[in-house]
Amino acid sequence: MARANTSYTCTECGAVHSKWSGQCDACGAWNSITEETPLSAAAGTQSLGASRGRTITLTDLSAREAPLPRTQSGLAELDRVLGGGLVPASAILVGGDPGIGKSTLLLQAAAHFAARGLKTFYISGEEAAAQVRMRADRLGLSDAPVQLAAETVLRDILTTLDAERPDLVIVDSIQTMWSDSVGSAPGSVSQVRAAAHELTAFAKRRGSAVILVGHVTKDGQIAGPRVVEHMVDTVLYFEGERGHQFRILRAVKNRFGPADEIGVFEMTGRGLSEVANPSALFLSDRGTPAPGSAVFAGIEGTRPVLVEIQALVAPTPQSQPRRSVVGWDGGRLAMILAVLEARCGIPFTGLDVYLNVAGGLKIGAPAADLAVAAALLSAREDTALPAECVVFGEISLSGALRPVGQAENRLKEAAKLGFSSAIAPAGGKPGGESGLKVTRMTDLTAFVGEIFGAG
């Protein structure tokens, strides 16, 4: 009976199970469930017992609030993802794979915010102060007025923060923080939660902004950033392919701004530099158009971005042809292939299909359907699409093309980058002002007929 209080928690998603198992039912992660003793086992205590709390003050919704006093870092890509700047008394989580550049980004951010007059602390639980200083040196930030500490004991950190009252605290990383009120090892779900909870509470209590770094973990030894996502105001993920120098900072949750906003950076020998015009970056060299390539006019957050979608279709000796996707959803690819076969009579059986979004960007919007179909068909028919042409539109299971939002912005961006024509779904708002020659189609069969001559 001594084990009655023990629960089994997934280190990836935080789901609680009654017994241990090899795979978490909630998120599907393998070998991520660990045994945890709960924070407090004081069962039976009731809030309305002998000692009552104080009554809280309620206000109505119409009460006028001053606009949030945001501080801008001057790094436009970061400020936009934050929703227009850093909000005091907010907690921000920055997650990402190890080595992707989180510490680099946050050290640069710290220097920028400090230069704007914020009292900024950088607490490193992973690297010694000398290592952080070396990185600062490499980034040319040695003179920035950032206060540095290498510490993991949460009690000491909070005591210092309470006394010093900084405007911005960066904690790198939350998985290294150790709270002595929790019995388990640093990096366990309860430690990470307790540390995130205390630091978030500090942010709210003292009006400081707190940025927590969280490593995305693959092996389940330490808790991933997902277990603290619900505690913080803003969740940003720093992503990118290791082999590419491009890094994308993506807001997945933001209580103070639009979610789904992205900021684009490039990793250079002297840290991260901003990429103000991501379209130019995601389009590979635009020479003569090659078969299997289509340019998708997309929207990322509030900004139009043009991306090249590349496909390769090749006969296979295998009975199970390969379907390999980078930067897009594999299930969605299967759907497009099925629609092409069922509605347009173009089978991909016996053919390997490789699909790649250039530049390491991940796109999720169904607006890319038509561009994917165009790239696939172009690869299969070995025919290049018209030069200087962008494509967008959603494909429904019936093969009909559905209009997508912000067509005008997509066309404008394409015109700005020197494209001369576009293929878009019929319906939606007419895009007259962009100067592009827009071909509007109602279904995929018409598209195939128009571009590839009757398929």
Q: Enumerate binding residues for Mg ion (CB under 5 A).
A: 103
Residue type, 388: E
Contact segment (CB under 6 A) with ligand TYD among 74-82, 185-193, 265-273, 384-392 equals 265-273
Q: Binders of ligand TYD: how many residues, by CB under 6 A?
A: 15
The conformational region for residue 140 under phi > 0 = left, psi -120 to 50 = alpha, else beta, is: left
Per-residue contact string for residues 412-441; x = within reach of ligand TYD by CB under 6 A: ------------------------------
Which residues is 294 bridged to in the sheet? 309
Strands 323-326 and 33-36: unpaired
Report, in Å, the least distance between residue 223 CB and Mg ion: 16
**By CB under 6 A, residue 98 contacts ligand TYD:** yes
* End-to-end Cα, the chain, rounded Å: 70
C-beta of residue 311 within 8 angstroms of C-beta of residue 286: no
Q: How far is the CB of 106 from Mg ion (least distance, A)?
A: 8
Choice between 103 and 175, CB closer to Mg ion: 103
CB of 239 to Mg ion, least distance (A): 15
- 373, 377, 416: which is closest to 392 by C-alpha? 373
Place of tokens 């309470």: 162
Q: How far is CA 126 from the centre of its chain?
A: 23
Rounded to a whole number of angstroms, the minimum distance from the CB of residue 271 to ligand TYD is: 4
What is the nearest approach in angstroms of ligand TYD to the Cβ of residue 31? 23
d(CA 200, CA 196): 6
Residue nearest to Mg ion (CB): 103
- For ligand TYD, the closer of residues 213 and 423 by Cβ is 213
Identity of the residue, 169 or 395, whose beta carbon is nearer to Mg ion in the bound complex: 169
Angle at 86 between CA 128 and CA 175, to 5 degrees: 35
Reference 228, options 96, 375, 95; nearest CA is: 95
Judged by CB, which is closer to ligand TYD: 272, or 333?
272
**Chain residues 122-141 in contact with ligand TYD, contact rule CB under 6 A:** 135, 138-139
Q: Where on the chain is the footprint of ligand TYD (CB under 6 A)? A: 96, 98-104, 135, 138-139, 267, 269-271
